[in-house]
Amino acid sequence: MTAAKIFRFKGGFHPEDHKKLSSEHEVKTLGLLPRYTVLLRQNVGAPPEVCVTKGDHVKKGSCIAQPASFVSVPLHSPVAGTVGDLLTVPGPNGSPVEAVEILSDGEDMQEWDDRLEPILDWRDTPANVLKKRILDAGITGMGGAAFPTHVKLSPPPEKPVDTLILNGAECEPYLTSDDVLMRSHARAILTGAAIAAKVLGVTEIFVGIEDNKKEAFNAMEQAAWGISSAAVTVVPLPVKYPQGGEKQLIYALTGRKVIVGALPMDVGCAVLNVGSCYAIWDAVLNGHPLVERITTVTGTPVVHPGNYRILMGTPLSAALEGAGGIRENSDVGKIIFGGPMMGFAQYSLEVPVSKNTSGILLLERSEVAQFYGGPCLSCGRCVEHCPMQLPVSTLSKACESERYDLAKENHVLACLECGVCSSVCPARRPNVQHFRKAKAELKELLQKEKNKKVGK
Ligand code: SF4
Ligand code: SF4
């Protein structure tokens, strides 16, 4: 291993991390539930198409939906049981979404579907076979965007990738699921990374971990020796939000800049979350599709904050119950899927956990940040801290008056939605909410124009 130079990205800030609440307890597994609702749309791209019918018997890991296109992944049953209804349930981003109901057979010793056989000799297995396994196991990004992993591992020939980056930064306050996974399963994560490196044909693997996770760093460094034919370098990164943003991470570890509108592959990089690498190991070495994950359930209102192994399709209410429920006298002001900076507020306790549910965070009403939309003071703090160096105050005013043409000219589409500009704003302007809305409007407009062109 060689020492890596670290490049410091501009902007960002240091929020209180609140990680101790959940990081110091052992990972627990939630008990079996009678019923799961598995969301169909769990990945970026096309949702898969259901391939089972009501009354079918399924094993744990049986395929229940097939990919609908190249940018799509299959879905699998989290438990053995019977297929129930195709339902509409509340989704994590607030809109109703389709889900497949699975009624558990109640057996604690769940038998896995054995259609995906373990590939123990993965080092001698062709790259295309390994990539197919990653697709067949339904693996997506598990840190946030849920981008299908097999697509990340398929750069076109004109964009060769030479570097694989493992994202173990976990810079969002409160979240510790990646930290505990690295502490307890470093070798499995790095084996998954070695498999991904083989698929990509890269010669260099960097693992970026924020410097506040010493135990995880040591575990990953120890496990890195001899694990891959690619050179593996585990790098401690400065603690600064959003260090785990894809663009910021690539810059920090390689000095390569991903410009507005470009992708990591445009600078020869592929970035995978450590959870996705663990899922690759499980899919290849054990033949298990992605049906569960470690999720941080935390916040001062939670009786037993910690990290929990949770099956996909588990309702938020059951995950909370598994963590001991809510403390008496708590006045919960907000429930968030993800962290406080980039997560989404939830309005129903029936929202199911899915592949990218890194955390379930409860905040007391007194802890919830309030944004009033007061007039901009032109203080420039947002511009100074924006990790994308965007003209934030200009953008904020343009979006507020729904001048989305101006917002587009000022690169709103490059906004990471990291929330830094809202957090540092003395006027408590809801900047990031404005930008989310503007981006959604502009994307819809773009889609309409595309449809017009192809005569839809
Ligand atoms: S939310 Fe967007 S505009 Fe605001 S700091 Fe983050 S990247 Fe910059
Ligand atoms: S930080 Fe807030 S008040 Fe200051 S310039 Fe930015 S939007 Fe305006």
CATH of the domain at 220: 3.40.50.11540
Assess if residue 251 is contained within a domain.
yes
**Claim to verify: residue 401 and residue 347 sit in the same structural domain:** no
CA atoms of 2 and 238, how far apart (whole Å): 18
In sequence order, the β-bridge partners of residue 271 are: 165
Asked if 16 contacts 212 with a C-beta cutoff of 8 angstroms, the reply is: no
Q: How would DSSP label each residue in 100-162?
A: EEEEE---SSPPBP-SS---TTGGGS-HHHHHHHHHHTT-B-SSSS--BHHHHT---TTS---
What confidence tier does 3 reach under pLDDT thresholds 50, 70, 90?
Answer: low
The better pLDDT of the pair 5, 312 is held by: 312
Q: Are residues 447 and 301 in the same domain?
A: no
Tens digits of per-residue pLDDT, 168-194? 999 999 999 999 999 999 999 999 999
Q: For residue 298, give its domain range.
A: 1-32+121-368
Residue after which a domain boundary falls, among 316, 345, 368: 368
pLDDT digits (tens, 9 = 90+) for 203-261: 999 999 999 999 999 999 999 999 988 999 999 999 999 999 999 999 999 999 998 88
Same domain, 169 and 256: yes
User: Is 362 in the same domain as 422?
Assistant: no
pTM value? 0.95
Domain-embedded: residue 61: no
**Is 248 a domain residue?**
yes
Tell me the C-alpha to C-alpha distance, in Å, between residue 59 and each of 137, 210, 279, 406, 414. 15, 39, 19, 53, 43
User: How confident is the model at residue 1, as a pLDDT?
Assistant: 46
- Ligand 1 atom with the smallest distance to the CA of 11 is 5
Is 346 in the same domain as 244? yes
Let me know if residue 239 belongs to a domain.
yes
Q: How many CB atoms lie within 10 A of CB 263?
A: 13
| Cα of 381 from ligand 2 centre, angstroms | 6
Confidence of residue 456 (pLDDT cuts 50, 70, 90): low
* Pair (358, 386) in one structural domain: no
Residues facing 60 on adjacent strands: 112
Domain count for the chain, please give it: 2
| Ligand 1: nearest atom to the Cα of 419 | 1
Q: How far apart are CA 93 and CA 91, in angstroms?
A: 6
CA 151 from chain center: how many Å?
A: 15
Q: Is residue 83 part of a domain?
A: no
Cα 211–Cα 213–Cα 214 angle in degrees, nearest 5? 85
Q: Which of 368, 397, 418 is the last residue of a domain?
A: 368
Does 386 lie in the same domain as 256?
A: no
Residue 406 lies in a domain: yes
Regarding the beta carbon of 423 and ligand 2, being less than 6 Å apart is answered no
Q: Are 225 and 207 in contact (CB under 8 A)?
A: no
Report the distance separating Cα 209 and Cα 32, nearest Å: 33
Same structural domain for residues 215 and 308? yes
Give CA–CA dist 294/297, Å, rounded. Answer: 9
Q: Which ligand is nearest to the CA of 421?
A: 1
- 245 inside domain: yes
In a domain, 57, yes or no: no
CA distance 414 to 201: 30
If you average pLDDT over residues 54-77, what whole number do you get?
97
Whether residues 364 and 406 fall in one domain: no
Ligand 2: does its nearest atom lie under 6 Å from the Cβ of 354?
A: no
Q: How far apart are CA 6 and CA 124, in angstroms?
A: 34
Q: Are residue 153 and residue 264 in the same domain, yes or no?
A: yes
- From the list 397, 411, 301, 312, the residue with the least C-alpha distance to 352 is 312
Whether residues 397 and 360 fall in one domain: no
183 in the same domain as 228: yes
**Does residue 381 line the site of ligand 2, with CB under 6 A?**
yes
Mutate to test the pocket of ligand 1, among 421, 429, 437 (most ligand atoms within 8 A of CB): 421
CB of 40 shorter than 6 A to ligand 2: no
Single-letter code of the amino acid located at 267: V
Q: What is the mean pLDDT of residues 311-320?
A: 98
Domain termination site, one of 368, 394, 427: 368
